[in-house]
Amino acid sequence: MVPTNFTRDQFACLSEWHEKVFDKTDTTHRDAYSQLRNAYDITKRWAETLQERLFPQGTTKTIRRPIDQWNRKFVAYNWSRIYPYADAPLELAYTVGIDAVDGFFVKIDLVDAKLDDASLRRRYDEIRGPYHDSPIVALMSAEEGLAIGLSGIIEWSAHAINHFPIGYNQVAEQLGLITTPNAAQLLQHFQCCKDFRERQPKWSSEMTQLFVRLAIAVHELGFDWWATKATNTQLVFGGKEKSAIRGSTMAALFVRFDCVEVRWLAFDGLDAVPLNQKLSPELVALVEAANAQKQGVSAKRGQRSSRIGYWPDQYRIEEVVAMEEDVLLGDSALSEANIITRNQIYFGPPGTGKTWTLQRLLEADYPSQRFEFVTFHQSYGYEEFVEGLRPVIFDSTAAHADATTTGDVRYEIKPGAFLRLCERARKDPAHQYAMVIDEINRGNISKIFGELITLIELDKREGEVNSVTLTLPYSGKPFSVPLNVDVIGTMNTADRSLALVDTALRRRFEFIELMPDPRVLKGVTVSKGDHQIDLEQLLTALNMRIEALYDREHTIGHAYFTPLKGMSSEQRFGALATLFRTRIIPLLEEYFFDDWQKIRLVLGDNQKKAPELQFVRDVESGRGATNLFGSSDEWDEYALRPRYSLNADTFNTPQAYIGIYSTLFKPVAE
């Protein structure tokens, strides 16, 4: 009969017989051997139960030998190995067992008998660290384990494996026991996607590495990768059999010329990312953390099925070609549910690249003029945006014209920019279209959008579960917004704070902040004589002071200075002087409502001892006031407003620019 629980006698036997040479002719030796083999039976049952529960694709191995096979000495422990999946490296296993000193243990351990490389043990020891304080070892005293019984021990060990900070695959990869595709090999899997093939080479090395890390983590979580024919969701991951027309999409990736954007549904303990975000180290780390946790409890890469996840190039060639050529496959065309629509507003201070970002976005994602562009202003209304009555002069050349009607003005219902775009998009559901609204915060949103403010919500679009159709007030036609229409706007926070934006607009749009980034000016200097002006430090100092005196929404964008990067060194100083005189100073005047004292603070003029280095000089008014008003007591000299003047010569003095930031940063060596 197989024993059902460990006993104190078994631990006592391990301790008592440790290091004694087994003598099979001695009855007491044979009794000890038999007792310890019974303990092995319980350990074997422990391992098998754990494997069935956590690693259904895995295997176990138990050698019921209480003695060292080389010296035939009794050992102070027993063990059973668990390999988490069928092709797991034989050199590494989860190991459970009992020890005369440490009690019950579970760990990720090397299998010495399978080692061909002696250095593996050294590298493993570095990963494991101190045995009693290791991220891949869990221990429980004999008394605690005996008190909770085998079922409690199984629960304890399952919890320990699930919460090891380092997973099995991570250890195996660090030891070189399993190989992860290198970047070049992995990127090759995605070359079947035309947009990826053309755009990925233009990414930065950092963006490429982030994508590689994400692709590996997703693949090891058991998901499939495949390409789509959509221009805004070129890559997706989820579940898709090779023979399937459509897959179950878990996430969509937007392949840009300079980056990847991603959004996903909730999976593996991760919250949903419902609106597209630029791929970042933080997002990738979330997926990698989910992968590390899953590696402890699921079969490698295949916990969702009995197979390894597919790469895009493993699907049928004709399907990929048809997608790339935008050939609709009849009923096999990807559903619009796989297209992730976006309502976005790019906002920030002037000069932060909002227009530039928008231009790049349109070039990359909406080719062939698949967009309408409008600029909102106070006079812009519903009639221009949706539909309205427009005056039309009766054509004298028309066949039905007569002397009475020629030249008369009639009013006809004409579609606006948004309605025209929706009509185009509805006829071409395979592509995304964009309604681009510049200066969206300058218009009267309620007046311009009208009932459309409801229709543009993503869940109210055509074909969605909560789709809404309304009757247009002029034409009387039913109308809803197609799913493949994106609404993208820009707003300048210096004109109107984000806090003042219509609540209805805020709820329906994803707001993407674009703030000044002095780092784009890193290494760009302006030389004049023996002096060098560091533009990165200059812009940083200006914005630090503006934010302290006003707010961050009125800082100065880096785009004001980026044209200097493309100029020769001889041209830069003159361009900088012109920039300050014609754009920076007037902008500060507008920001601070001609409060020249604050402008002096922003420019650091109050900290410059030499008057010739001050852009804005404080004009002494005491003597001039006496000349103006006399020396009588009828005027109060303290009631006089301070007077300031611009120093034209200062714009041509390099030390004046250096003085803006020299008190905050160490200036470039002169």
Neighbours of 541 (CB within 10 A): 22
Q: Where are the domains of the chain?
A: 8-174, 183-328, 343-388+415-513, 518-661
What was the pLDDT predicted at 337? 37
Are the beta carbons of 280 and 187 closer than 8 angstroms? no
- pLDDT category of residue 664 using cuts at 50, 70 and 90: confident
* 570 in Cβ contact with 539 (< 8 Å): no
The pLDDT value recorded for residue 113 is 60
Greatest mean pLDDT among 304-313, 457-466, 520-529: 520-529
Q: What is the pLDDT of residue 336?
A: 35
Q: How confident is the model at residue 168 (pLDDT cuts 50, 70, 90)?
A: confident
Average pLDDT over residues 194-211: 88
Does the structure show a pLDDT above 90 at 205? no
Domain 343-388+415-513 is found in CATH 2.10.109.10: no
The predicted model gives 321-347 an average pLDDT of 46
Q: Using an 8 Å Cβ cutoff, are 483 and 462 in contact?
A: yes
Q: How many CB atoms lie within 10 A of CB 219?
A: 22
CA distance 152 to 2: 18
pLDDT, tens only, 349-399: 999 988 888 888 888 778 889 999 999 998 999 999 999 988 887 665 555
Whole-number percent of the chain with pLDDT over 70? 83
Q: How confident is the model over 316-332, as a mean pLDDT? A: 34
- Does the pLDDT at position 1 exceed 70? no
Give SS3 for 193.
Answer: coil
Rg for the chain (alpha carbons), in Å? 36
The pLDDT, as a whole number, for residue 296 is 41
Residue 635's pLDDT is 59
Q: Is 251's pLDDT higher than 50?
A: yes
Residues whose CB is less than 8 angstroms from the CB of residue 648 and which lie 6 or more positions away in sequence, other chains included: none
Beta-bridge mates of residue 263: 252
Q: What is the pLDDT of residue 269?
A: 77
Which is nearest to 426 in space by CA: 381, 361, 368, 485?
485
Q: What is the reported pLDDT for 228?
A: 82
Looking at the predicted structure, is the pLDDT value of residue 527 above 90? yes
Average pLDDT score over residue span 645-669: 85
CA 218 – CA 224 distance, rounded (Å): 8
- Residue 313 pLDDT more than 90? no
**What confidence category does residue 445 fall into, taking pLDDT thresholds of 50, 70 and 90?**
confident
Asked if 54 contacts 74 with a C-beta cutoff of 8 angstroms, the reply is no
Give the β-pairing of 137-140 and 224-227: unpaired
**What is the bridge-based pairing of β-strands 387-393 and 470-471?**
unpaired
pLDDT at 136 over 90: yes
- Choice between 233 and 486, residue whose per-residue pLDDT is larger: 486
Q: Which two tokens stand for residue 12?
A: 């006592």
How does pLDDT run across 23-61, given as a tens digit for each residue?
A: 989 999 999 999 999 999 999 999 999 998 888 778 999
Read off the pLDDT band of 625 (50, 70, 90).
Answer: low
CB atoms within 10 A of CB 102: 17
Q: Is the pLDDT of residue 457 over 90?
A: no
Taking the C-alpha atoms of residue 289 and residue 115, their distance in angstroms, rounded to an integer, is 29
**pLDDT per residue as tens digits for the range 142-155:** 999 999 999 899 99
The Cα 558–Cα 493 span in angstroms is 15
Query: Do residues 539 and 559 make contact, with C-beta atoms less than 8 angstroms apart?
Result: no
Is residue 422 within 8 A of residue 485, CB to CB? The reply is yes
Q: Which helix (H) or strand (E) holds 299?
A: none
Structure tokens that stand for 224 in this block: 């499939």
Region at 348 (left for phi over 0; alpha for psi -120 to 50; beta for the rest) = left
Mean pLDDT value of segment 242-259: 78
Task: Provide the pLDDT confidence category of residue 331 given band limits of 50, 70 and 90.
Answer: very low
pLDDT of res. 321: 31
Q: Which residues contact 69 (CB under 8 A, 6 or more apart)?
A: none
Q: Give pLDDT tens digits for 532-545.
A: 999 999 999 999 99
Q: Which residues of 578-600 are buried (b: 16+ CB within 10 A; e: fewer)?
A: ebbbeebbebbeebbeeebebbb
pLDDT of residue 596: 92
Q: What rounded mean pLDDT belongs to the chain?
A: 83
Sheet bearing 235-239, strands edge to edge: 224-227, 235-239, 248-255, 260-264, 273-278
pLDDT in tens, 567-606: 998 899 999 999 999 999 999 999 998 899 999 999 999 9
Mean pLDDT in residue range 70-80 = 91
Residue 203 half-sphere exposure toward CB, CA atoms < 13 A:
23
Which of 411, 407, 324, 417 has the alpha carbon at shortest distance from 369?
417
3-state secondary structure 543-612: HHHHHHHCCHHHCCCHHHCHHHHHCCHHHHHHHHHHHHHHHHHHHHHHHCCCCHHHHHHHCCHHHCCCHH
Pick from 160-169, 331-340, 500-509, 514-523: least confident? 331-340
pTM of the model: 0.51
What average pLDDT does this structure show over 289-294?
A: 71
Q: What is the mean pLDDT of residues 277-306?
A: 66
Give 335 or 663, the one with higher predicted confidence: 663
